Amino acid sequence: MKKLLILGSTGSIGKSTIEIVRSFPDQFEIVGLSVNNNIDELECQIKEFHPKTVVVRDRQKAKELSGRIGSSCKILSGEEGLLEMSREDNYDIFVAAIVGFVGLAPTIEAIKLKKRIALANKETLVVAGEIIISLCEKYGAELIPVDSEHSAIFQCLIGEQKKNVNKIILTASGGPFLNKSFSELDTVTIEEALNHPNWKMGSKITIDSATMMNKGLEVIEAFWLFHLPKEKIDVAIHPQSIIHSMVEFCDGSIKAQLSTPDMKLPILFALTYPDRFVYNSVETNLKKVGNLSFFEPDFDKFVCLKMAYEAINTGGSAPCILNAANEIAVEKFLKGKIKFTQIPVLIQVALNKISNHTIVNLDSVVEADFKTRELLKKMFN
Ligand SMILES: NC(=O)c1ccc[n+]([C@@H]2O[C@H](COP(=O)([O-])OP(=O)(O)OC[C@H]3O[C@@H](n4cnc5c(N)ncnc54)[C@H](OP(=O)(O)O)[C@@H]3O)[C@@H](O)[C@H]2O)c1
């Protein structure tokens, strides 16, 4: 019986994780859950799974929940609540299904407790990859990727020697605007950007997929996870999203991992690795899938992808600035404050205006994140 802490339990990854727990009641137990403010859904989850602790980031909502459920479980609030729950040494697997920079500090607490980290929250590796990887090595914590692309690469590398890897190929659906021209992107609506052709995901990552910043963040995530230079991290557009990523070896052989696009598979793998559980909920019938196609991404149209590669080159706090500016820009787009094509423009402004510094510890990450948010906040005042 593995005990799970699920940060972001009301989100797309969080709910898929909960579905898996429902399918394997003898294998997994939930001891902690967290949300931002969706206490209605959290209340249902508490009644079903009886966690010991929950965190509601919004303090007012935490009070409201307390009034509703009394003392049936410990209710914490704020970002310090997330840290406190992550420090409770009563779980085996930390599922980072929370979105954004806020996931970083609690993940570090779980690493210090030597827990298995099932990492969906790619922002954590983007902003503090070096710190996270060295902490995992220091404390002996396992970092298992949940992102389908990185899970695919992780699976392709099992039994292989790193010296034999020529390159990894991250596949990308291309999002809803794959076939739009650069000038057409100027007038796309929020609804169109949220209409991903293959995946049902939270709103932030769906917009990231539409700008292809999602693939850019994944390139940075892969850079840290697999210790490869950026020249060995390739991106291929694969509109069917059946091949989740590939590894090319020195003899020219390519290994790929395939399935129907459903995040329950990489989540389950991250929970059960090195074992696999019998699971019949996600079927893949390649005869029905038909053709699989692959082509080069258009870096001039999807500027965000280009900026992510450049941020690896620049190093230091550049990935952190890129991430913070992207989080703010996506939020502004979703609120109708900026156009879709202004997302990369805002990110570039932040990268130009904020001086780069070396990342030495968590404080330097927080500083870069804070400066970026302050700059963009001023621009909207
Ligand atoms: N969805 C996917 O298929 C997918 C695939 C690969 C990787 N990922 C990554 O997984 C992470 C989660 O994605 P998602 O699509 O599941 O996101 P989502 O549907 O938007 O869910 C986010 C979860 O985090 C909570 N949350 C949001 N902002 C928060 C804050 N400031 N403080 C505390 N909690 C907060 C939300 O609570 P409320 O419900 O209360 O707002 C919700 O439980 C992201 O980093 C994403 O890039 C997702």
pTM: 0.97
Residue 296 lies in a domain: yes
DSSP state of 355: P
| Ligand 1 atom with least separation from CA of 120 | 10
Nearest Cα to Cα of residue 135 among 207, 224, 200: 224
Please answer whether residues 107 and 117 qualify as being in contact, where contact means their C-beta atoms are separated by less than 8 angstroms.
Answer: yes
Domain end: 110, 145, 180, which one?
A: 145
Identify whether residues 136 and 197 lie together within a single domain: no
State the average pLDDT over residues 23-42: 98
With a pLDDT cut of 90, the percent of the chain lying above it is 97
In this structure, the answer to whether residues 166 and 297 fall within a common structural domain is yes
Shared-domain flag, residues 88 and 105: yes
Domain boundary among 125, 145, 165: 145
Say how far apart CA 190 and CA 104 lie, in whole Å: 28
Q: Does 195 reside within a domain? A: yes
CATH of the domain at 137: 3.40.50.720
The tally of CA atoms less than 13 A away on the side-chain side of residue 202 is 20
User: Band of the pLDDT at 380, cuts 50, 70, 90?
Assistant: confident
**190 and 259: one domain?**
yes
Do 45 and 137 share a domain, yes or no? yes
The average confidence (pLDDT) of the chain is: 97
* Residue 88 pLDDT class (50, 70, 90 cuts): very high
| Residue 33 lies in domain | 2-145
Q: Is the CB of 264 under 6 A from ligand 1?
A: no
**Are 190 and 299 members of one domain?**
yes
**In-domain check, residue 42:** yes
**Does residue 270 fall inside a structural domain?**
no
Per-residue pLDDT band at 36 (split at 50, 70, 90)? very high
Alpha-carbon distance 352 to 363, whole Å?
A: 21
Same domain, 212 and 297: yes
The answer to whether residues 186 and 246 belong to one domain is yes
> Which CATH number characterizes residue 352's domain?
1.10.1740.10
**Whether residue 112 is found in the same domain as residue 233:** no
198 Cβ neighbours under 8 A, 6+ residues apart: 173, 239, 240, 241, 261
Residue 279 is assigned to a structural domain of this protein: no
- Other residues' Cβ atoms within 10 Å of the Cβ of residue 349: 16
Segments in 212-297 forming alpha helices (H):
213-225, 264-272, 286-289
User: Ligand 1: which of 54, 75, 86, 99 to mutate, most ligand atoms within 8 Å of CB?
Assistant: 99
Confidence category of residue 72, pLDDT binned at 50, 70, 90: confident
pLDDT score for 381 = 78
Distance 99 CA to ligand 1 centre (A): 4
Instruction: Give the pLDDT confidence of 239-281 residue by residue, as tens digits.
Output: 999 999 999 999 999 999 999 999 999 999 999 999 999 999 9
Side chain identity at 277, as an amino acid letter? Answer: F
Residue 70: per-residue pLDDT: 86
Local confidence band at 16 (pLDDT 50, 70, 90 cut-offs): very high
In this predicted structure, what is the pLDDT of residue 271?
Answer: 98
In this prediction, residue 2 has a pLDDT band, given cuts at 50, 70 and 90, of: very high
Tell me, using a 6 A CB cutoff, whether residue 119 lines ligand 1.
no
Any domain includes 164: yes
What's the CA-to-centroid distance between 10 and ligand 1, angstroms?
8
Shared domain for 305 and 323, answered yes or no, is: no
Contact 235, 169 (CB under 8 A): yes
If asked whether residues 105 and 200 sit together in one domain, one would say: no
Residues 235 and 379 grouped into a single domain: no
* Neighbour tally for 57: CB within 10 Å: 18
Mean pLDDT of 172-180: 96
Q: Compute, in angstroms, the gap from residue 214 CA to the centroid of ligand 1.
A: 14
214 occurs within a structural domain: yes
What digits encode the pLDDT tens for the residues 120-133?
Answer: 999 999 999 999 99
- Number of structural domains the chain divides into: 3
Residue type, 179: N
Percent of the chain with pLDDT over 70: 100
Residue at 319 is within a domain: yes
* Three-class DSSP category at 243: strand
